[in-house]
Amino acid sequence: MRFCVLVIAAVVVLTCVAIGHNSGLLFLSDPTAFILRMRDQVSPFRFALTTDPEPPDCSAPVKLKVHVTDSSSKPADGLFLEADVSMANMDHGAQHVTLRGKGNGDYEGRLNLEMAGSWNVDLTATKGNTRTRQRLSIEVSPGNPRTPDRDEDES
């Protein structure tokens, strides 16, 4: 929904600039700045997602690491940050993780991703009355096959 608003705003801005330029009028001196301001009004927080290990695999727990910046590109601390993680194109439900703030806009949480493939990470950041949602994705590799315990070999 927010992406659609941004696309519509960009089309309107570019149309106004083209009309203004052709008629000798200049409505906007910097259309890029206007578009960025519109984006920041729609989405006050931006997310960068990494994992540990990188790339993640399904043989061990995965640490989600999210860096959050505000509309002025400064680290955003003091957020309530949640992730709903589900396998893309599957209906297995989602794992819900609350990420803990580490300072400097960094947040972390652990989870197990038991299958290789594409996973959706739906992030929701809340601070006061401001809320931002964004879907990111990660690719989980098969990892190393688990080796049986010695007791299992002997039985």
**What pLDDT score does 150 carry?**
46
Is residue 151, in this structure, part of any structural domain at all?
no
**What pLDDT score does 82 carry?**
97
Query: 62 with 126, same domain?
Result: yes
Query: 68 with 99, same domain?
Result: yes
Distance CA 76, CA 83 (A): 16
**What pLDDT score does 1 carry?**
60
Query: 63 with 78, same domain?
Result: yes
Query: 36 with 72, same domain?
Result: no
Owning domain of residue 122: 45-140
**What pLDDT score does 155 carry?**
43
**What pLDDT score does 25 carry?**
45
Distance CA 144, CA 131 (A): 39
Query: 23 with 91, same domain?
Result: no
**What pLDDT score does 53 carry?**
93
Is residue 57, in this structure, part of any structural domain at all?
yes
Distance of CA 55 to the CA centre of its chain: 16
**What pLDDT score does 16 carry?**
54
Q: How many domains does the chain have?
A: 2
Query: 34 with 59, same domain?
Result: no
Query: 57 with 37, same domain?
Result: no
**How many Cβ atoms from other residues are within 10 Å of residue 85's Cβ?**
21
pLDDT tens digits, the chain, 155 residues: what are they? 655 555 566 666 565 555 544 444 445 566 666 655 555 455 789 999 999 999 998 889 999 999 999 988 999 999 999 999 999 988 878 999 999 999 999 999 999 998 999 999 999 999 999 899 999 999 999 876 554 454 444 44
